């Protein structure tokens, strides 16, 4: 496709989107409200602390002794042992946390773009909190099944990381990655404010894709398409489906991540130089392996619908959210506003240079 054809296609798609937003304004508003409820109930409580951890570990001076178990995984992935915090945070914090650390380390010049690209293909994983709570309890009525899915996806992540280690190149080491800023109080302050901006960015993407999903609702098979756009709403749409269908589709949704997660990763990588071209094929490999491990283990463990009911309540309530979630959102907005003067100053300086 030539650049002119691509420009024409994008312009046409933008025009169609404008028409749909004007024609289906009520559906769009409902989708945005649904996305806001999802952010209040699930995204902020489960992601905010891990984003703080990701920001802190990517800037602070660290001791390698605390990460020795994960350093063994780095050797399997043919990655520098100093990338152990990235893998650990990704395993525990979910999709964007690991990518945020990769973008930070490459942007700081402490990690090469090729190594960052390999690390990105190896460290993106759904969080155990989401799988146990939103999928296990919310969809199947038992958090044990969510932890079971997490174990299968963790095994798929290890296999994908080993494959990426053999197939993808790395940059030469750029010195001691453990050596960071020794001002831990300053690192913590930067981590909290940076995490606030990052979580706010995630929430904006969730609201956009939630609105897009609501526009697709009249189409046949929208349940399948919704999960490929945004994971949480897609899993919510599976409530009431047969057990095997819900198990397969929830595994596909959570292992792939969907368009919303991919846009978040692209945003957090920013101008670090880490490309996502090889990320997508390895994500497909991760999805295939997750599905294989899940169905094989479910067959041997004889998981049936009588054990895990798929007729639990939907993930998202119709209310406006809990008091705790509302307070969390207000705090994020305040932290974001506190960072505006510094950002405006940097933009002014950048403009004067231009």
Read off the pLDDT of residues 288-304 as tens digits, 9 standing for 90 and up.
999 999 999 988 887 76
SS (H, E, C) 31-52: HHHHHHHHHHHHHHHHHHHHHH
Q: How many CB atoms lie within 10 A of CB 117?
A: 27
d(CA 44, CA 52): 12
Q: Which residues pair with 181 in a beta bridge?
A: 60
pLDDT score of 1: 58
Q: Which of 265, 1, 292 is nearest to 120 (CA)?
A: 265
d(CA 100, CA 95): 9
Q: Report the percentage of the chain scoring pLDDT > 90.
A: 14
Q: How many CB atoms lie within 10 A of CB 283?
A: 20
**Secondary-structure breakdown of the chain: helix, strand, coil percentages, each rounded to the nearest 5:** 75, 0, 25
247: tokens are 């198990």
pLDDT score of 276: 87
pLDDT value at 316 more than 50: no
d(CA 215, CA 146): 29
| Structural contact between residues 161 and 283, judged by C-beta atoms closer than 8 angstroms | no
| Structure confidence at residue 353 as a pLDDT band (50, 70, 90) | very low
Give the mean pLDDT of 241-251.
Answer: 90
pLDDT value at 333 more than 60: no
Question: Which residue carries 């190149």 as its tokens?
Answer: 169
pLDDT score of 155: 93
pTM of the model: 0.76
pLDDT value at 177 more than 70: no
199: tokens are 């979580």
pLDDT value at 347 more than 60: no
288: tokens are 């295939």
Q: Which of 181, 184, 191 is nearest to 56 (CA)?
A: 191
Over the Cα atoms of the chain, what is R_g?
Answer: 21
Question: Which residue carries 């090889």 as its tokens?
Answer: 278
pLDDT value at 332 more than 90: no
d(CA 140, CA 233): 15
291: tokens are 């599905």
pLDDT score of 228: 87
Q: Report the percentage of the chain scoring pLDDT > 70.
A: 80
Give the mean pLDDT of 190-205.
Answer: 89
d(CA 268, CA 258): 16
| Cα separation values, 59 from 55, 80, 132, Å | 7, 17, 30
d(CA 103, CA 264): 12
| Structural contact between residues 86 and 102, judged by C-beta atoms closer than 8 angstroms | yes
């Amino acid at each position: 496709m030539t650049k002119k054809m691509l420009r024409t296609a994008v312009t046409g798609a933008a025009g169609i989107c404008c028409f749909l937003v004007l024609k289906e304004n009520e559906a769009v508003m409902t989708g945005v409200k649904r996305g806001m409820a999802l952010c209040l109930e699930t995204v902020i409580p489960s992601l905010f602390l891990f984003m703080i951890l990701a920001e802190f570990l990517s800037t602070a001076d660290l001791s390698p002794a605390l990460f020795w178990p994960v350093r063994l995984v780095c050797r399997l992935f043919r990655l520098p042992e100093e990338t152990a915090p990235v893998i650990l945070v990704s395993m525990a914090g979910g999709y964007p946390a690991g990518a945020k650390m990769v973008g930070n380390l490459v942007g700081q010049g402490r990690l090469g773009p090729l190594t960052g690209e390999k690390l990105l293909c190896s460290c993106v994983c759904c969080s155990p909190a989401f799988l146990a709570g939103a999928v296990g309890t919310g969809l199947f009525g038992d958090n044990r099944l969510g932890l079971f899915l997490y174990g299968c996806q963790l095994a798929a992540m290890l296999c994908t990381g080993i494959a990426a280690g053999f197939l993808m190149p790395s940059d030469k080491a750029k010195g001691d990655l453990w050596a960071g800023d020794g001002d831990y109080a300053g690192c913590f302050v930067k981590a909290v404010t940076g995490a606030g901006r990052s979580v706010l960015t995630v929430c904006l993407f969730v609201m956009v894709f939630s609105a897009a999903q609501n526009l697709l609702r009249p189409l046949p098979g929208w349940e399948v398409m919704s999960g490929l756009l945004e994971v949480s709403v897609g899993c919510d749409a599976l409530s009431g489906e047969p057990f095997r269908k819900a198990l397969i589709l929830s595994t596909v949704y959570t292992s792939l991540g969907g368009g919303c997660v991919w846009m978040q990763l692209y945003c957090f990588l920013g101008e670090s130089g880490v490309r996502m071209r090889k990320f997508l094929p390895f994500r497909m490999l991760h999805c295939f392996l997750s599905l294989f491990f899940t169905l094989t283990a479910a067959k041997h463990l004889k998981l049936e619908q009588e054990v895990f009911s798929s007729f639990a309540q939907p993930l998202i309530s119709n209310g406006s959210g809990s008091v705790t979630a509302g307070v969390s959102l207000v705090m994020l907005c305040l932290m974001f506003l506190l960072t505006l003067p510094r950002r405006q100053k940097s933009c002014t300086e950048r403009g004067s240079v231009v």
